C-alpha cells in the first residue's frame, strides 16, 4: 500500500491511498472544533500531522486552542498515535470534553475509509 498526501488548498487536504487493486481518497477532518490549518511533515516511513482543536466552555464560548499531532505510518495508516502539546489548562479541557476519545475515533474512522 502506498500513501500520498496531496494538498488541495490551505485548509482541506486529501489523503490518497493506493494499493494494487484500487485507489481511495478521503479528506482529513475539518470543522467541529478542528478549525486550524493542517501542517504535515513527510518523513521516510510516516506522516506527522499537526493541527489544533478550538474548544468551548459549557455555554458555547471559545476558550482557547489545544495543539495536537498524529503520527501515522505510511504502511499501516490505521495504526496512528495521537499526542497533545498544551499546558495544564489544556489538559483539564482534554479530560473535561473527552477530546482524546473524540479525536481518536474521528481519525480512526477517516483512516479506516482508506482501507
Residues 6+ apart with CB under 8 A from 16: 3, 4, 5, 6, 23, 24, 25
Q: Give the whole-number percent of the chain exceeding pLDDT 70.
A: 76
The pLDDT tens digits for 15-67 are: 555 554 556 667 788 889 998 988 888 888 888 999 999 999 999 999 999 99
The three cell numbers of residue 81 are: 498515535
Model pTM above 0.85: no
Vertex 14: Cα angle to 70 and 94 (nearest 5): 30
10 pLDDT more than 50: no
Amino acid at each position: 500500500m502506498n500513501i500520498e498526501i496531496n494538498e488541495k488548498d490551505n485548509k482541506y487536504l486529501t489523503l490518497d491511498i493506493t494499493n494494487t487493486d484500487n485507489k481511495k481518497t478521503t479528506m482529513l477532518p475539518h470543522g467541529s472544533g478542528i478549525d486550524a490549518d493542517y501542517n504535515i511533515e513527510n518523513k521516510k516511513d510516516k506522516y506527522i500531522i499537526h493541527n489544533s482543536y478550538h474548544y468551548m466552555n459549557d455555554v458555547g464560548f471559545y476558550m482557547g486552542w489545544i495543539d495536537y499531532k498524529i503520527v501515522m505510518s505510511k504502511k499501516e495508516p490505521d495504526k496512528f498515535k495521537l499526542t497533545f502539546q498544551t499546558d495544564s489548562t489544556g489538559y483539564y479541557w482534554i479530560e473535561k470534553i473527552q477530546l482524546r476519545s473524540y479525536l481518536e475515533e474521528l481519525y480512526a474512522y477517516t483512516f479506516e475509509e482508506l482501507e
